[in-house]
Structure 1
Amino acid sequence: MKKLIVMMLLILLLVACNTSENTESTEESSKEEMKEVKLVLDWTPNTNHTGLYVAQAEGFFEEEGLDVEIMLPGEAGSDQLVASGQADFGISAQEALTEARTQDIPIVSIAAIIQHNTSGFAAPKEKGITSPADFAGKTYGGWGAPIEEAMLEALMSEENASVDDVNIVNMGNTDFFTAVERDIDFAWIYYGWTGIEAELKGIELDMLYLTDYAEELDYYTPLITTNEKKIKENPELIRSFLAAVANGYKYAIENPTEAADILVEAVPDLDEELVHASQEWLTDRYVDDANYWGEQKSSVWENNATWMYEQGLIEKELDVEATFTNEYLPQ
């Protein structure tokens, strides 16, 4: 009897070991099958990126067999990292991509995160800036890009004013609210983040949206990019990635409160109240009047590229059809 009990225990032990080994082997095999993907942001995390963090937290990437690392851009910037293949996907803006493409940098836009440009020039009400003509004699705080002066000139010239009368200062990463309290009169902001933050702080802003002044200034910002090599060699990866991301933004649209919670949990340093308020403001703007999330139109690219060419911001005309695609989006 003792021998029988010992034999049975040995058999059970062997079965348990085999089961454990099989489980570990299955888990290792599953991990090996997951495709590692690097996604680089354009800036610090905010509600433009909510759908990405939702896709990660809710397992949408995992369902597509993707192990996605969300990275900050660092000094190199997202466009350079994507173009060089150091990142598979990136977040950028139409004006930056237009410039890159005309310099033969092989990156392509594969989805628009928000359908319409929500940016513009903002100033606290006490600065007295209610039209582009009021920029004259004031100090503008920017980040040193050529498009800033061109944008100011385009808006001011329509009102017989000149950008030469604006004191342009590079304020780098200085917070908008700190800057306007110190020595800056106005800056270029995205209302969905900085504008909402002003509302929460009780600061009244005069906001001059770019879209109020010209159709060609209603461009895609932000958008998602990849490089031409990735499209050629692994189109299924792009389809899988965008399927997960589209589900992430669909979730954010339908569940803004829960989506905001996911972003705050992923990035605890963010102001929770701001994230929730911004998320509510952006919810209807992700898709807006498009047929589906991520859709891009040739006319939007053509209009803005023509404007940039006329302003001398790009040296040659843009090949629009090579610059963006809707092909890999779920519809």
Structure 2
Amino acid sequence: MRSRIALILIFTLIIGLLPGCGQKAENRELTPVTVILDWFPNTNHTGLYVAKEKGFYEEEGLEVKIVNPGEGGTAQLIAAGKGDFGISYQEEVTYARAEDIPVVAIAAVIQHNTSGFASPADRNIKNPKDFEGKTYGGWGSPMENAMLKALMDKYGADFSKVNIINIGTADFFTSLEKDIDFAWIYYGWTGIEAELKNIPLNFIKLRDEHEALDFYTPVIITSEEKIKNNPELVKKFMRATARGYQFSIENPEQAAAILLKAAPELNSQLVKKSQQYLAAEYQADAPRWGEMKKEVWQKFADFMYQNGLIKKNIDPAKAFTNEFLP
């Protein structure tokens, strides 16, 4: 028995001395990876921060840096090689593909579109017909006009009777104090914030009003070049990221704490409640987190093309892939 134990101890010692063996993960040479966000850190991004904090990226041999966006859209930055992966949305990817900017969506962060047009209940905007005579606060995107018109046409309403004001990146609640009646929001953040502020909202969810508007927002993107030249890196990144979002689905309270650790400037009450809301939305009815459907990409691309938002239609099969989802 003693000789057997001695042999085990000697074997263990030898293994520990061999190059690369017995080393802690932090002593291994990690591959640097940069992820560019679409906006300031929020619960859309929690899975990324969880994967980083829990060591999921490190287990894949990756050293991930998460950065806020700079000038220009995320798609342009990723296509230009300024980052390896980015947070974008189907609208931006479709615009990019129509302009031959070679970016590809590799996961849907949230399975269904949780955005819509929100207004304080006292504005009495209950459906798109009620947009007539009201003031919309937007950021000057042609997409906004197309969506407003499509929804109003469905109800026989006159789009020309909407007063549209460009409020840029102004806060929704601040804008309401400046005679804005309604705006486009993500319910999982601004809608939850309204609940916390005890501001009753009427919320017209886009996916309930038009089938083409149940598009993926946000999505994770990378470049065609990255997929072609380093598919193994994409696989490793997505394997760890999927674990991060799965953890967030199963443990929203812990996930919220991790996000708040990374971004302590955020409202903790808002983050916690938003995380609870998104825990049920990240995967929703999909067979796995991140999976996307061709018909969703096709319908939304057709909508954009038919409304003159893109000069040419795109091949949806080239705009996204589920290949790298674990």
Instruction: Note whether the superposition's TM-score is higher than 0.5.
Output: yes
Moved over 3 A (4+): 26-32
Matched residue count: 307
Residues 80-105 of structure 1: CA deviation (Å, up to 9, x unaligned): 11010110000011011111101000
- CA drift of 1:317 comes to 1.5
Aligned pair partner of 1:244 in 240, 243, 247: 240
CA contact 2:25–2:58 (8 Å) conserved in 1: no
RMSD: 1.7
Kindly tell me: are residues 243 and 183 of structure 1, through their superposed partners in 2, closer, same or farther at Cα, counting changes over 3 Å? same
SS at match of 1:90: strand
**Which amino acid in 2 is paired with 1:321?**
A
Which residues of 2 match residues 151-170 of structure 1 at below 5 A?
A: 151-170=147-166
Q: Where does residue 81 of structure 1 map in the other structure? A: 77
Q: Where does residue 305 of structure 2 map in the other structure? A: 309
Residues 13-72 of structure 1: CA deviation (Å, up to 9, x unaligned): xxxxxxxxx99xx98996672000000011111111000000010000110111111010
- CA drift of 1:283 comes to 0.3
Residues 248-302 of structure 1: CA deviation (Å, up to 9, x unaligned): 0111011100000000110001000000000001101111111101101101101
Residues 221-263 of structure 1: CA deviation (Å, up to 9, x unaligned): 0000000000000000000000010000111011100000000
Q: Where does residue 38 of structure 1 map in the other structure? A: 34
Aligned pair partner of 1:120 in 113, 116, 124: 116
Q: Where does residue 288 of structure 1 map in the other structure? A: 284
**Which amino acid in 2 is paired with 1:275?**
V
Percent identity between the two aligned chains: 57
CA contact 2:25–2:59 (8 Å) conserved in 1: no
SS at match of 1:39: strand
Question: In the aligned structure 2, how far is the partner of 1:128 from the partner of 1:287?
Answer: 33
Question: In the aligned structure 1, how far is the partner of 2:161 from the partner of 2:136?
Answer: 11
**Which amino acid in 2 is paired with 1:160?**
G
TM-score (norm 1): 0.90
SS at match of 1:100: helix
- Is the aligned partner of 1:230 residue 2:226? yes
Q: Where does residue 15 of structure 1 map in the other structure? A: none
Q: Where does residue 319 of structure 1 map in the other structure? A: 315
Kindly tell me: are residues 29 and 61 of structure 1, through their superposed partners in 2, closer, same or farther at Cα, counting changes over 3 Å? closer
Q: Which runs of 5+ in 2 are unaligned?
A: 1-17
TM-score (norm 2): 0.91
**Which amino acid in 1 is paired with 2:317?**
E
Residues 85-133 of structure 1: CA deviation (Å, up to 9, x unaligned): 1100000110111111010000000000110000000000111111111
Q: Where does residue 269 of structure 1 map in the other structure? A: 265
Question: In the aligned structure 2, how far is the partner of 1:32 from the partner of 1:149?
Answer: 52
Q: Where does residue 149 of structure 1 map in the other structure? A: 145
Q: Where does residue 134 of structure 1 map in the other structure? A: 130
Kindly tell me: are residues 314 and 206 of structure 1, through their superposed partners in 2, closer, same or farther at Cα, counting changes over 3 Å? same
